[in-house]
Structure 1
Amino acid sequence: MPDWSVIALRSLGAVVMLFVLTRILGKKQISQLTFFEYVVGITLGELAGFISTDIEAHYFLGVTALLVWFLSALLVEMVTLKSRSFRNWMEGKSRILIQKGKVLEDNLKKERLSGDELLEELRKKNVFQVAEVEFAVMEPSGDINVLLKKENQPLTPKHLGITVAPESEPQTVIMDGIILDEPLSTLGFSRGWLLTELEKAGVAVENVFLGQADQYGELFIDTFDDMIKVPKPQTKQLLLATLKKCQADLELYALSTSNGESKRIYADGAMQLTRNVEHLTPLLQR
């Protein structure tokens, strides 16, 4: 067999093995690595390259070395999940760099971090003054997480006493002009509903690059032709306006009728609808 075909077969086998082993080791191998995972990742890559190109060496010896490193990494990962002390030894522990607004210089030295590097990391978190920081900690991954002082934290609806609707994940229902039935059924909608919404917007399915819908029935559309102007979804705004109009109509009927029983029914309906509008407003004004 020619050398090039041997190398091709070896390389194909190495690619398959490396992919399978990396998948088993999990997503941490492609995210923030610990020291040991970093060494294992480099070594597995080196071994895969070795068994792919060194045709004079026995192929299965290289495979054995690859499996030994893989099993070692898998064993260490399983032990770190079970033992906190072993995990701290292998991955390191978090270290506080700023506490109650005070920089801890001794901890900076232990992490071999200069003041300039600390300021650089703070700027990455959109913090330009150390005085704004209540607490900062360096994680085992090397990332620095920052907690701002209470007065420097951004306002939230909770701070203002505003009730907001729960957030849910929007579903992509159209991709490259093709309707995706599974996300539609996840939201509880049908193709008929989707086609009706597209007809309201004046857009054909084949002209849609991306379509996303939320649980409230609002459809966002991005077309292939960026010159096409697609109206913004107004389903919730229209529903809220309709409810307010109905409530106002009931109040008007209650005032205009001379029949006592009808006046009471209209007034009760208007009051009930007012309460419903108050409850639904946070959901419909998002």
Structure 2
Amino acid sequence: MPDWLEVVVRSIIFVTVLFVMTKMLGKRQLAELSVFEYIAGITIGGITSEVVMGLERSIINAILAIVIFSSVPFLVEWISLKNKKMRDFLEGTGTVFIKDGKIMEESLKKEKYSADELLELLRKKNVFNVSDVQFAILEQSGDLNVLLKKEHRPVTLKDLQMSYQSEKEPQTVIMDGEILDEPLSLAGLNRRWLHEELDKLGVTKENVFLGQVDSDGQLTVDLYDDQIKVPTPQEKPLLLATIKKCQADLELFALATDSKAAKVMYAQNASKLNDMLQKLEPVLHD
């Protein structure tokens, strides 16, 4: 076999072997590497390049070495699951960098981080003032997790004591101009509804690159032609405006009528609509 052809064959073999071993290691290893995974990755890369180009090297021995080094993270992970002390030793523990708005200088020195590097990590979390931080910890993966002080956290519906419903994940119902029936069915909708919504927007499914339905049943589309302006859905604003008009009309009727019974009825219903508006406005407001 010519040398060039053997290099091609060896390359294909090792790409396949590395693909299989990477799939076995799982997605977590692709996102963040432990110390042993880092060591194994460097070594496997060296073995692969050496054997692919070094034609005198044994393929079998190289594959055996790759399997051994790929097995090390499995063994370390298994030991870590069985024993917390070994897990702390092998994988490390989180280091507190900020507590009650105060920087732990000794922790920074221990992890060899400068103040500038800490500020950079905070900015990545959209935090620009150290005093706003209640607690910040550097995880084993190298990520900084930050808990802001209560007065600096975003206000939630729960903080406002407003009722809310959990949202379902958006369903992609059109992709590359083709309707996806399964997601459409999961959203409790059908093709007839979809075509009606597309007609309201003035587009055809063939022009839609991506179409999604949110938990409120509202369709949004991204078109192939970015120059075409898609009108913003108006159902929610129209419904909100209609309810507000009804509530205002009832108040006017209550003021205009001379009948005490009618005045009470109009006022009561206006009050009910006002209560309803307070609950619906966060949902219907565009």
What TM-score range do you get, normalising by the shorter chain? 0.7 to 0.9
Q: CA deviation at 1:279?
A: 5.0
Distance in 1 of aligned mates of 2:126 and 2:278: 37
| TM-score calculated relative to the size of structure 2 | 0.84
- Which is worse superposed, 275-284 or 92-101? 275-284
Q: CA RMSD in A?
A: 3.2
Q: CA 1:100–1:268 in structure 2 vs 1: closer, same or farther (change >3 Å)?
A: closer
Pair 1:82-2:82 in alignment:
yes
In 1, are the aligned partners of 2:244 and 2:277 still within 8 Å (CA)? yes
In 2, are the aligned partners of 1:217 and 1:235 still within 8 Å (CA)? no
- Which is worse superposed, 10-19 or 221-230? 221-230
Provide the residue aligned with 1:208 in structure 2: 208
Task: Map residues 88-127 of structure 1 onto 2, 5 A cutoff.
Answer: 88-127=88-127
Q: CA 1:82–1:233 in structure 2 vs 1: closer, same or farther (change >3 Å)?
A: farther
Q: CA deviation at 1:203?
A: 0.5
In 2, are the aligned partners of 1:165 and 1:283 still within 8 Å (CA)? no
Q: CA 1:51–1:201 in structure 2 vs 1: closer, same or farther (change >3 Å)?
A: same
Distance in 2 of aligned mates of 1:8 and 1:58: 15
Q: Which amino acid aligns with 1:101?
A: G
In 2, are the aligned partners of 1:14 and 1:51 still within 8 Å (CA)? no
Identity across aligned pairs (percent)?
51
Provide the residue aligned with 1:182 in structure 2: 182
Task: Map residues 221-236 of structure 1 onto 2, 5 A cutoff.
Answer: 221-236=221-236
Distance in 2 of aligned mates of 1:52 and 1:78: 32
Q: CA 1:270–1:155 in structure 2 vs 1: closer, same or farther (change >3 Å)?
A: closer
Q: CA deviation at 1:61?
A: 0.7
In 2, are the aligned partners of 1:11 and 1:51 still within 8 Å (CA)? no
In 2, are the aligned partners of 1:99 and 1:135 still within 8 Å (CA)? yes
Distance in 2 of aligned mates of 1:200 and 1:109: 61
Q: CA 1:267–1:148 in structure 2 vs 1: closer, same or farther (change >3 Å)?
A: closer
Provide the residue aligned with 2:61 in structure 1: 61
CA displacement 1:230-269 (0-9 Å, x = unmatched): 1112233344455666778899999999xxxx99999999
Q: CA deviation at 1:14?
A: 0.6
Task: Map residues 114-193 of structure 1 onto 2, 5 A cutoff.
Answer: 114-193=114-193
| TM-score calculated relative to the size of structure 1 | 0.84
SS at match of 1:231: coil
Listed as ranges, the gaps of 5+ residues in structure 2 are none
Q: CA 1:89–1:5 in structure 2 vs 1: closer, same or farther (change >3 Å)?
A: same
Q: Which amino acid aligns with 1:28?
A: R
Provide the residue aligned with 2:5 in structure 1: 5
SS at match of 1:232: coil
Provide the residue aligned with 2:50 in structure 1: 50
